[in-house]
Chains A and B, each alone.
Chain A
Amino acid sequence: MIQFRSVTKKYKNDNYALKNINLDILSGEFVFIVGASGAGKSTLMKLLYNEERPTSGTVTIGGINIANLSNDKVPNLRRCMGIVFQDYKLLQNQSVYDNVAYVIRTLGISSREINARVTGALKIVGLYEKMHATPSELSGGEQQRVGIARAIVNGPPLLIADEPTGNLDPKNSLEIMQILDQINQRGITVIVSTHDNAMVDYFRKRVITLDKGEIVRDIQAGTYE
């Protein structure tokens, strides 16, 4: 499903974020991208949702090289995947329901369909009861669950989570990871970047370790170290 071929990302002053990355992620996989701060985890995630473009090499998703995707096609790409962020990125002045419904409303879907999809997504993350609350009335873990509901509401085949538990305590982190695991069990490919070793060790999924922009380890059912 996802292929990285000889991908290098270089910033100014010859600062390499990623060096010659070759990587295959199959449909339906759950993958942890781990590494210390500055290892290149976030850059790799940004390449997936086209927030960054590689300096060289190709990034292919579903057979399409997104490295040279025209700017007007980027929103289409992002609508085909769900993205979860460390800082949740929720619209603070809108309710949980409206946050989740926001993107699908822009697609001209009927209210009935939107309602069905939003309530379905909120039930998956366990926030159906709090659909009228605003993000400020929710805990960090709940806000991240809203972020996950928003990411899956459009039924994407791929979910990218960039440090989803970075701002959460262990209990909430575990809940979030369990939700992501459930989503993966529905057949959605899940890629999670994290430096939370406890979670990686607990779930025993495929682990790709980055160090100074290079893949130094790629093992199935692995641990953090």
Chain B
Amino acid sequence: MNDQKLKIKKKVKKHIPKDWLCELRILYRLSMETFNDIRRTGIVNLVIITTMAAILTIFGAFFRSALSISSFAHELGNVLEISVYLKSGSDPNTVKNRIKEFEYVEGVKIIPKDVSWENLKREMNLPDVTNPLPDTLHVKVDKPENIEPVFNKIKELSSVEDMSYAQELAKRIQTLNHVVNTITVFVVIIMAILTITIINNTIQLVIQSRKDEIEIMRLMGVSNWYIRFPLIMQGAFYGFSGALIALIPLNFVQNGLVNMHQFFMVPAPVYAQNIVIIIMFAMGTLFGAGGSFLCIKKHLQV
């Protein structure tokens, strides 16, 4: 069996260029060094990973909620319409085509005055009198924040008698979106600072505890990056592991939000959970490695 294994190993080795073999061995050694460093850090690993998981959970939960709030806002924005009342004698189709050319306009629907009058009569049980209503256009805009500019443009048209839209609601949606985006950026910044500080301090402790060993490596001619790389990887490992654990509470947040979307009959944003997970892992790992790198720059003289 062993002979068979050796034969396979030899066959595989034959096909790998010598330089690559050398690089692969170095990579293997570096991985082992990283693994040993983490093992030697002992119980502190648990503390760091748990702290990282807590920070990433807060970030993930916030980011995921922000995506849902955005989706709610978008959905509300979609039902916002501008009602345009035309002067008598104006051609609704001409005005419709004119408005359709405006930027941000997603659609225009003509409500003929006869239809409006019939509906009103039916709803209010009115007697048969001359139709006093004008032809109406319902204009749909792509985003709530674009309603106002479109409204002002339509107002300039000579065929328009009067207009209306839920101005307050549109403004509130716009403000809500703005606040959520600002807080998300703020949370990302806080998270970055916390992650980098925690990793920085941990790696500083690791460097202190391995001071003699690093000194020996340095004096024996071990290359600078060979000394630094396992420490950077250790930082990245903490970020990655923290993100891995944060998946559990994040799943609860996801379920809660999905229930909320179902309750309000607003579709949940597509791929939101996947986006949050990818960003959480990328940020955890990058900030972990970054914190370690900054610490090495400051405290490791090689």
Which residues of A pack against B, CB within 8 Å?
Answer: 49, 51, 71-72, 74-80, 83, 85, 89-91, 102-103, 105-110, 150
Contact = CB atoms under 8 A, between A and B. Distances in A.
Contacts of A109: 22, 25
A89 B216 contact: yes
Contact of B216 (A72, A77, A91): A91
Interface stretch (B199-207, B221-229, B258-266, B285-293): B221-229
Interface of B: 21-26, 29, 212-213, 215-224, 226, 302
Contacts of B212: 89
Contact of A49 (B23, B216, B219, B302): B219
A4 B215 CA distance: 26
A108 B219 contact: no
Which of the listed residues B215, B220, B302 has the most CB atoms from chain A within 10 Å of its own CB? B220
A83 B219 contact: yes
Which of the listed residues A80, A103, A108, A150 has the most CB atoms from chain B within 10 Å of its own CB? A108
23 contacts: A75-B218, A75-B221, A75-B224, A76-B223, A78-B219, A83-B219, A89-B215, A89-B219, A90-B216, A91-B216, A102-B217, A102-B220, A103-B221, A103-B222, A105-B29, A106-B26, A106-B223, A106-B226, A108-B23, A108-B25, A108-B29, A109-B22, A110-B25
A109 B24 CA distance: 10
Contacts of A85: 219
B19 to A, nearest CB: 9
A66 to B, nearest CB: 13
A71 B219 contact: no
A106 B29 contact: yes
A190 B65 CA distance: 69
Contact of B213 (A91, A105, A110): A91
A64 to B, nearest CB: 15
Given A106-B29, A106-B226, A83 B220 contact: yes
Given A89-B215, A89-B216, A106-B29, A75 B23 contact: no
A115 B29 CA distance: 15
B228 to A, nearest CB: 12
Nearest to B20: A108
A83 B216 CA distance: 11
Contact of B221 (A79, A91, A108): A79
A51 to B, nearest CB: 7
A213 B220 CA distance: 26
Given A89-B215, A108-B23, A103 B220 contact: yes
Contacts of B22: 107-109
Given A78-B219, A110-B21, 6 more contacts: A49-B219, A103-B221, A106-B226, A108-B21, A109-B22, A150-B220
